[in-house]
Amino acid sequence: MSRKVFKRRRLFAIIAVAAVILGIFAFANRSAIRSGFDQLVGNDYQGNGYSSVLVDIQPGDTGESIATSLVEMGVVKNFRTIYKLIIDADPKFYPGTYKLHLHMSSQAALDALLDPKASVTNRILIKEGLRANVILDKLAATTGIPRSEFSFAAKQRQAIGLPADAVSIEGYIFPATYSFSPKATAVSILKTMISRMQQELDKFGVQAADRNRVLTLASIIQKEARQEPDFFKVSRVFQNRIKAGMHLQSDATVSYGVDGNTVNTSAADRANKNGFNTYLNAGLPIGPISSPGAIAIDAALHPAAGTWLFFCAINLETGETVFSTTLAEHERAVALWRAWMKEHPGYE
């Protein structure tokens, strides 16, 4: 083989290798190359855009539906351009609300949707046992929606899905962590939270006619019990008392009825005539007194086996509670509670 032929073959080999490397590079960066080309020919905007717009991604949204929304909202210019980028990247989109801009390049828009920092969803944790007025305060503080709008929305029974036999929204908001779009309204937020409680009741098989009763009992259990096993014992005590024709005598219901927030109640509180006073009135109060969680609902439906008619928390720090069948046993437990209270005067 002549030197000239050898050089020619080596050149061809180098060119072939270079072509392969260039092809691999082009394939790996095809999205960026296509994006640059689309901008050159006018099929795409350039840069990060201007102004701002909120884009919602709902559970189940596809790349095609997201691409369509971006074009319709003026975020990107061309459906084909953004959709090809989505297909090439095969990203995982997370539901939420994202702050984007008008007239963004398709690549910039896609990058923003995949950036957790671009999410502007309002997240709020509602803990078990909170009263409705406290929940509305937290919602207003988190979302920026005026408290007055939540107060008004809470009275729009049909709009928020509140059952006809409910006294109010008290007890019908399920305690959980929620994520709300900045575009959500007070009505849509309360409707979501009440719907979540309905789902929980459905899970337990609670019929519509029984829901107010179950939530009322569960809400009292939620306020009276501290340790999980005690939830089911407290439920048994209340149901035993109802069966025996005894008043519940729950200080939690009395406190709620006089808009109090203390563990102890006064003689005047217990003499106050209202639908939540279980010292004066037999059976359950007229409605829930707090937002019960899943454990309290479960306890209301599945009380522990036992003959107890009384219970008394003898340590308010740990929640240690004594359950008794006889009045004499209960009085001994009350003496322990009073001794603890004397040593801890800060508790009310």
Q: What was the pLDDT predicted at 279? A: 93
pLDDT at 52 over 60: yes
Phi then psi dihedrals of residue 120, to 5 deg: -120, 25
Query: In whole angstroms, what is the distance from residue 135 CA to residue 319 CA?
Result: 24
User: DSSP of 162-211, one letter per residue?
Assistant: --TT-SSSTT-SPPSEEEE-TT--HHHHHHHHHHHHHHHHHHTT--GGGH
CATH code: domain 31-118 is 3.30.1490.480
Q: What is the pLDDT of residue 264?
A: 77
Residue 7 has pLDDT above 80, yes or no: no
* Structure tokens belonging to residue 247: 């008043």
Task: State the pLDDT at residue 8.
Answer: 61
Strand ranges (DSSP E) for the chain?
50-57, 96-102, 122-125, 177-180, 310-315, 320-324
- The DSSP line for 91-138 is ----SEEEEEEET--HHHHHHHHT-GGGB--EEEE--TT--HHHHHHH
pLDDT of amino acid 121: 82
Mean pLDDT of 307-320: 90
In this predicted structure, what is the pLDDT of residue 87?
Answer: 93
Predicted confidence (pLDDT) at residue 32 exceeds the cutoff of 80: no
Quick one: pLDDT at residue 23? 56
The predicted-structure confidence for 97-111, as pLDDT tens digits, reads as follows: 898 999 999 999 999
DSSP strand pairing (50-57 vs 310-315): unpaired
Q: Comparing 263 with 65, which gets the higher pLDDT?
A: 65
**φ, ψ of residue 55 in degrees (nearest 5):** -115, 125
**Reported confidence tier of residue 314, pLDDT bands at 50, 70, 90:** confident
Look up residue 17 and give its two tokens.
Answer: 């290798």
Q: Mean of the pLDDT values across residues 151-165? A: 95
**C-beta of residue 100 within 8 angstroms of C-beta of residue 50:** no
| 98: β partners | 55, 119
- The predicted model scores a pTM of 0.77
Average pLDDT over the chain reads: 88
| Residue 14 confidence (pLDDT) | 60
Q: Map residue 283 onto helix, strand or coil.
A: coil
Q: Provide mean pLDDT across the span 309-314.
A: 90
* Structure confidence at residue 130 (pLDDT): 96
H or E element that contains 227: none
Q: Where do the structural domains in the chain lie, given as residue ranges?
A: 31-118, 122-203, 208-343
Q: Band the pLDDT of 22: cuts 50, 70, 90.
A: low
CA distance 265 to 269: 6
Position 6 scores a pLDDT of 52
Q: How far is CA 162 from CA 124, 190, 341, in A?
A: 21, 9, 40
